[in-house]
Chains A and B, each alone.
Chain A
Amino acid sequence: EAGVTQFPSHSVIEKGQTVTLRCDPISGHDNLYWYRRVMGKEIKFLLHFVKESKQDESGMPNNRFLAERTGGTYSTLKVQPAELEDSGVYFCASSPPGQGGFYEQYFGPGTRLTVT
């Protein structure tokens, strides 16, 4: 079974440019999450999709970040315009469907974003 995949693995852009990160979750996983680690700090939650709906976007830092999950499959995270403080590693994770209870989240390898 394929794991969570992310593309690109590394992106270097200039301040003010736009970048789009992509995540493909494990097949059959309705839940998809975005996290990021900046400046060597802890991994921080950004948002959570259930299928194509945003369940929780309380961690999104500001309106320069836009996440979508059309069709409930893969997801994209767009940063526009990028700022220096957006540099870091962006992780995507997924978990199986189900109400009540909870499941472990399986993480992708991450996208390292460098804004210069």
Chain B
Amino acid sequence: EDQVTQSPEALRLQEGESSSLNCSYTVSGLRGLFWYRQDPGKGPEFLFTLYSAGEEKEKERLKATLTKKESFLHITAPKPEDSATYLCAVQARWSARQLTFGSGTQLTVLP
């Protein structure tokens, strides 16, 4: 069974204090790993897709990396507007297209 574990569950940072979120996964053949951002009362908002170990993608203050067992979402010099829950999901080769989600990391950036 595919599993996704995210850590920490919650993270509080001061504005400008860089950090990383972790997503560990177990999947029978990874087709892709997805990062989403979710604000309260809204649906997940797509950020990145990573396909293979060693791949990196960046968007503004966010950088996602992938290894064979985990993915990291690095946040550089965060701002209060980066506060949200960040979700990691995997798609297995065996599946049609279903995503298996982790429980998320709730990030709070204090001004």
On A, residues with C-beta under 8 Å from B are 4, 31, 33, 35, 41-45, 48, 55-56, 58-59, 91, 93, 95, 102, 104-110
Contact = CB atoms under 8 A, between A and B. Distances in A.
B91 interface: yes
17 contacts: A31-B97, A33-B97, A35-B101, A42-B102, A43-B87, A43-B99, A44-B101, A45-B99, A45-B100, A56-B95, A104-B34, A104-B49, A105-B46, A105-B99, A107-B45, A107-B46, A110-B43
Interface residues of B, number: 25
B44 A56 contact: no
B90 to A, nearest CB: 11
A42 B101 contact: yes
Interface of B: 4, 31-32, 34, 36, 41-46, 49, 87, 89, 91, 95-104
Contacts of B100: 45
B46 to A, nearest CB: 5
